[in-house]
Each structure stands twice: as C-alpha cells, then as structure tokens.
Amino acid sequence: MQQLLYIEIPTPQIADVKTWLQSGYQPPFGKKSVAKHGFILDRQNRSGAIAQLSVFLWTLQRTTYLKVFRWSAEVMDGEKEFISHLTKASRQAFPVEFKQLPAIAPNQNIFEALAAEYPLTAKFFQRIPNGEYDLNRVYWWEKRWRESVKSPETPKNVIFTETSSAKPDLQYDIVYLGGALGAIHAAMMAKLGYRVCLVERIPFGRMNREWNISRAEFQNLIDFGLFTNEEFESMITAEYVDGFNKFFDSNNPPHLKAKVLHTPTVLNIAINTNRLLEICSKKLHQYGAVICDRTEFEKVIVSEHGATIFAKNLETNAPVTLTSKLVIDAMGSASAIAQQLNAGQAFDSVCPTVGAVLEGFDKQVWDSQYGDVLFSHGDISRGRQLIWELFPAEKDELTIYLFHYHQVHPENAGSLLEMYEDFFTILPEYRRCDMEKLTWKKATFGYITGHYSLNEDSKKCSFDRILAIGDAASLQSPLVFTGFGSLVRNLPRLATLLDTALKHDLLKADDLSQINAYQSNIAVTWLFSKGMMVPTGMHLPPERVNSMLNTFFGLLANEPLSVSDRFIKDRLSWSMFNRLAVTAAFQNPQLILWILEMAGAKDMLKWLSSYGAFTRVSLTNMLVGAWLPQILRSCQSWLEPTNPRLWLRLLSWSYAINYSVGKVDQ
C-alpha cells in the first residue's frame, strides 16, 4: 500500500463532500465502487492485471481531508492522470470561500445576529461573563480590521497638520492613545515627572488578552524602577514547571518527525492583567496622570508647537479635546494612525488570535504545572496552520489560545469569528474535554500584527509629535511574543530615549524615529514566520507547515536548553542563527525550495537585505560593542547640553548595536 495523494478539501461539510465523491464525481476511467468513507477504483491494466486505488475522507479541525492509496501491488495505468483529475475536480467543486461579515440589524441582539453562521460562538459567549459586550468587541474589531485591509491604498486620514506661530499653553507632555501597553509606558513616563494623559476606548483595566512572561524578562521593569518585587509577585497567577513545543507529524516523513521541545523558562509566568493594570492605574494617579476611558480617538492636528487630540466620550457623546507636546499611538493593530503613517501598509502579516480563560478540565488530561508554548494537532485547515497555546492561570484556570500566521490580503483579511467557531468546535480534539462541563471565565482575542523590517527605517513609526509603540509599531517577535514582550524587553531604552527627546523638544519625525524597538536579529527571523503561513490562493500539501516547524523545533530539541531559550526570546546571535540555518538545510534540503515557494523571489530578496543588515550590525558589535557604548555614556555630561540631537542619535545607536544581536540582560 502506497500513498499517492493527500489534499485538503476546505469545507467542514464532510457529508456534502462524501456525497459528491461517491455520486457526483466521475473518474476518467475504471470502475468505481462506493466504500464507507469514499470509493474504490478498479482498472484492468494493459498487462491484464487488476490495479486498485482506495479514495477516502475524514474530518478534523472543521475541514475535510482526502487521501488516495494504491491498494494493490500493481501500479495502475494512468495513475497520475487520475490523481490530477481528482485534485482538479475537488478544487472546482469545493473552492476556498472567504465569508463576509454578517450584518447586524439596528437593535438586533449580537447572539441572534451571529447564531446562523457561528452557532457555537453565539452559544458559548452567552456563558462568558460580559460575553455580550466581548462578542460585540470581537465583531467591532473584525469589522474595523477588514475595512483597514480592504482598501490599504486609501487609509482613513486621522493626522492633520496646521501652521501656527502661536505657542499654545499645552495641557500635557504626553497623551497616550490606548490603555493596555500604553498604560505601562505611561506609568514609566509619569514616574519620570511628565504630565501624562491616557485615552482608552473601553473601560480602563479591561483586557481581551492575557500576558505571559519569564521572571528574568520582567526583571527589566523592576530594575528600571517601574515595579517593585512585591508588586510583581502580586501579579503572578501561576508559574509552570515546563512548557512544551510540538507540532503534528503523523503525515511527515520519518526524518521530519521531531521530539518535544521543552522550554521551561519561556512564558512560564502567567500575569494577572487586571492586577497589572490596576497597579499601573494607581501609579498614574500617584504621579498626577489623567485617565480618560470610554473615550474614542477621532483625529489629531499637529502644529509647530504641539498636537491637539480630538476624541469623543462614548457614554455621553460629548467631544473631548486635549493638547500635548507628544502623542503616543498604543492603539494596537486597529490603529488608524499606524495605517496612515505607512500609507495603508502598516502590517505585512497578522495572527488572528482567539481563546478563553476557563476551568473544568479533567486534571488527568492536563496537569496545571505544564503549558503548551506552541502546539498543533493537525495539518493545514482551510488555508491556515492552526496553532494552540495553553498556559496555567489562577488556581485551576487555564488560558488557551488558538491562532494562525496570516498574510494580510484584501480578500482574505483573517476572521476572528471564524476562528472562534473553530475554537469552540475543535477544543475537544486538542484537549479531551466535555464542553458542557467547562466554566468560561473570560474571552481573549485580538489581531497581533507583524512587519517584515528590512532595516530600522523600513517601518514608519513616527510623525512630527507622534510616536507608535507596541502592536501599533509592529516590531515584535515573529514567534511567540506580542507587543508586550517587545515592550518589556525594550522599555528601559525606549523610556530613556524618549526622556532625552522630551527634555530637548526633539519631537520631529526624524528625532522620534530614533525611539523604536527594532532588532536586526528579529528582522532576520521574519522568514521563519513566513514559513508558518499559507499564501492566499496557494494550495500547499497539508503537512507542509508542520514539516517546516518540525525541522526547526526538532533541531532546537537536540540543542542545549540555553539555545532554544535565546532563539524563542529573540536573543539570537549571528553565529547561532547561521549554525542553526545550515544544520536545518542539511537535515531537510527541500526547506529552501519550500520557503522560496511560499515567500516568493521578491520576499527572498528582501530577506537577503535583512540578513545583510544583521551581518553588518553583528560585525559592528564584535568590533565595538564591548567598549564604545560605555565611552559614549562618559561623554553625556558635555555632549548632551551642547548637541542634544547628536546625543540622541548616538544614544539610540549605542543601544541598537547590542539589542540587535540579542545582548540584552534577561
């Protein structure tokens, strides 16, 4: 018996596929006999021998898969012709479909509006505290996201400029738009003595994501004076013993099957986001900051001497007007500012992410001392490689995410609602559970954006008196970290650089562009995330992405723990990257061809540019990284007062030559 074909038929309606396969499909030759899950094809060869093929279906992850096996020892005449005919016919009969967002009639209940298309989503959100509010948030976020990628060449204008010689009396030094990552950054700048205002669309302190980190990484914020050890301990809801990384390999060839990669110090601390934001709120008020929640940003007008922010209170519809020296865009992937700054091309990729905090799992099925950092339980599903994350949370609770790496495409934006229907359907496949016995605590969801940075200037994160941070800047890791991980790693340098810029009124776009979380060692790994997504319209072998992931993670599983820790925490050095890349290419020679097929020649050339930048900064670090930053710091007392703009650039560069090769204390 030999496998001849393995394809996905991208529909959850396996009964329809089975009916078509058994009754509608006519093979180009031979005798078709209906079987339980498909059919048997018999043909008498020219030699007189009878050859036989078996065609069958099964369902997993809300999609349908088809395989063809040679059932006889005899090779069938015209075998390749039949395989080609069946593949083409199935794709014509069941093309990939991209659903439109259901319309919601005025005064219609969100559950009623979505029940027909997303029955399980409507059902289980009714069991989540604040579920109606959160499902409306899911709908709003997806609607806004779809609009932003539908016509990327014409983003909505929210930044305007005016010429004015008058020097206004500004209310604030910094206005933050966005209250999640923005709250942490705002607390730091308020602590440094700046007049801060934070504008948040939803009630402050609500989060639709949970955050995980390691102790060593969070220590950055403690050492920098933002939090105390006691405050950090009060935020921790769980600390697990080990984290697992494993990808489905049943359909991989033997040399591409991989053992479990253990990462005990990656994302092993679960943070109570409500507690974290509560502490940030207390610090903001302690330092005199103002929080305007339930307030939606509308536009900003930038002048020579300041910025005027226009917003609306969502409870009263009253207009809100604020004036400030600087505006920080922390609005995440839904940021209209980021879209305008980058002419609608703010993001190259996105991870639509859904999940929940829940309890009620059988403890014999999952031990709360362990987490899944990255895990897949099946192959490509409807053009996406679905990946799970599972982290222990407070007491017996678990935080579970389902996400996939996705190409930003106007016809295929990536749907949170579709992902939630997947989540509620296939959770029992991932972890044996009775969905009716689970207790749902909180919904977690969002669009986590990414940008393929060729160098530090390829992503525009600044405008005169405007600076983007976090997910709005899209400079985070292509692996497991979102803007939170990037902010934690980079807050000390970002706060120091911003403090310097504000003290000297260096708030033009060129000056603010020095303040970003770019790392060349992260930029060079974007090709890895490219290999985790299926380009829209491309038919890949269903096992392809898992084969690539098992190649890399199988390698890491055979390395010392410190190597995988540095790799996943974005602390990869040039020599380590090259050694792992060469080893992977030898283990799986097809890997380069696969990446070329998925990324395309144009993106491969872009990656070579990123690799060149990584090589240059690594050489610079080797030559001067150990001593030049210290010498530059010793010049601060006379250089900063005499030439603050030059000092800001040198300070930014001195950080970059170490951060960009992973030399960050974590």
Largest distance between two CA atoms of the chain: 96
**Average confidence score pLDDT of the chain:** 90
457: pLDDT confidence band, cut at 50, 70 and 90?
low
If asked whether residues 221 and 316 sit together in one domain, one would say: yes
What residues does 327 pair with on adjacent strands? Answer: 175, 466
Domain termination residue (choose one: 65, 93, 121): 93
What residues does 170 pair with on adjacent strands? Answer: none
Measure the CA–CA gap between 508 and 326, rounded to whole angstroms: 10
Cβ-count burial 75-96 (b if 16+ within 10 Å, e if not): ebbbbeebbebbeebbeeebee
Q: What does the pLDDT look like over 349-382, one tens digit per residue?
A: 889 999 999 998 887 777 888 999 999 999 999 9
Specify the DSSP element, H or E, that contains 414.
none
If asked whether residues 630 and 481 sit together in one domain, one would say: yes
Which is it for strands 439-450 and 370-375: parallel, antiparallel or unpaired? unpaired
Measure the CA–CA gap between 140 and 131, rounded to whole angstroms: 14
Structure tokens at 267: 């994302």
Stretch 176-190: mean pLDDT, rounded? Answer: 93
Q: What does the pLDDT look like over 244-268, one tens digit per residue?
A: 999 999 999 998 999 999 999 988 9
Domain termination residue (choose one: 45, 71, 93): 93
Stretch 503-525: mean pLDDT, rounded? Answer: 87
1: pLDDT confidence band, cut at 50, 70 and 90?
confident
459: pLDDT confidence band, cut at 50, 70 and 90?
low
If asked whether residues 169 and 35 sit together in one domain, one would say: no
Cβ atoms < 10 Å from Cβ of 219: 17
Q: Is the pLDDT of residue 92 over 60?
A: yes
Q: Is the pLDDT of residue 464 over 60?
A: yes
455: pLDDT confidence band, cut at 50, 70 and 90?
low
If asked whether residues 164 and 89 sit together in one domain, one would say: no
Domains held by the chain: number: 2
Stretch 395-423: mean pLDDT, rounded? Answer: 93
Q: Is the pLDDT of residue 104 over 90?
A: yes
Q: Which among 633, 627, 629, 626 has a CA at the least distance from the CA of 654? A: 629
The single-letter DSSP state of residue 260 is: P
Domain holding 588, by residue range, is: 159-236+276-344+461-534+570-659
- Share of the chain residues as helix, strand and coil, in percent rounded to the nearest 5: 40, 25, 40
If asked whether residues 585 and 493 sit together in one domain, one would say: yes
If asked whether residues 577 and 652 sit together in one domain, one would say: yes
Q: Is the pLDDT of residue 7 over 90?
A: yes
The single-letter DSSP state of residue 212 is: E
What residues does 52 pair with on adjacent strands? Answer: 42
Cβ atoms < 10 Å from Cβ of 1: 8
If asked whether residues 195 and 89 sit together in one domain, one would say: no
Task: Decide: helix, strand or coil at residue 523.
Answer: helix
Phi first, then psi, for residue 264 (nearest 5°) are -70, -15
Measure the CA–CA gap between 499 and 168, rounded to whole angstroms: 21
Stretch 5-17: mean pLDDT, rounded? Answer: 97
Residue with tokens 């601390």, as numbered in its chain: 269
Stretch 287-315: mean pLDDT, rounded? Answer: 95
CATH code of the domain containing 67: 3.30.310
pTM: 0.92
474: pLDDT confidence band, cut at 50, 70 and 90?
low
How high is the pLDDT of residue 477?
55
For CA atoms 508, 511, 516, 519, give the dihedral sign.
positive
Specify the DSSP element, H or E, that contains 529.
helix 526-530
666: pLDDT confidence band, cut at 50, 70 and 90?
very low
Measure the CA–CA gap between 636 and 274, rounded to whole angstroms: 39
Which is it for strands 370-375 and 462-463: parallel, antiparallel or unpaired? unpaired
